[in-house]
């Protein structure tokens, strides 16, 4: 769940924006690790057709999530 930027902007507590930014950083890091692992598995040549299909579908989802979270992180960093 994303933290609404409007509530951060109107908030008098920048600590909550900082805390959210830190949480986002951790989520981004976890997604990047997952992406790297998936890419390694896809290149290994050891996956069945079903596994290959399943993991191939996850990569664009990770990319979308990363894009969204990175944009949110950038927006927050401008506020801090």
Pairwise CA distance, residues 55 & 77, whole Å: 32
**Residues of the chain scoring pLDDT < 50:** 1
Closest by CA to 69, choosing from 28, 33, 38, is: 28
Tell me the torsion sign for CA atoms 72, 74, 76, 79: negative
Return d(Cα 37, Cα 18) in angstroms, integer: 29
Q: What is the pLDDT, as a whole number, of residue 21?
A: 86
- pLDDT given for residue 3 in this prediction: 54
Phi first, then psi, for residue 28 (nearest 5°) are -65, -45
Integer Cα distance of 80 and 76 in angstroms:
7
């Amino acid at each position: 769940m994303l933290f609404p930027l409007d509530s951060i902007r109107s908030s008098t507590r920048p600590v909550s924006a900082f805390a959210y930014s830190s949480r986002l950083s951790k989520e981004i890091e976890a997604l990047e690790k997952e992406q790297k692992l998936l890419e390694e598995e896809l290149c290994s040549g050891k996956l069945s057709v079903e596994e290959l299909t399943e993991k191939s579908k996850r990569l664009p989802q990770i990319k979308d999530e990363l894009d969204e979270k990175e944009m949110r992180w950038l927006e927050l960093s401008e506020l801090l």
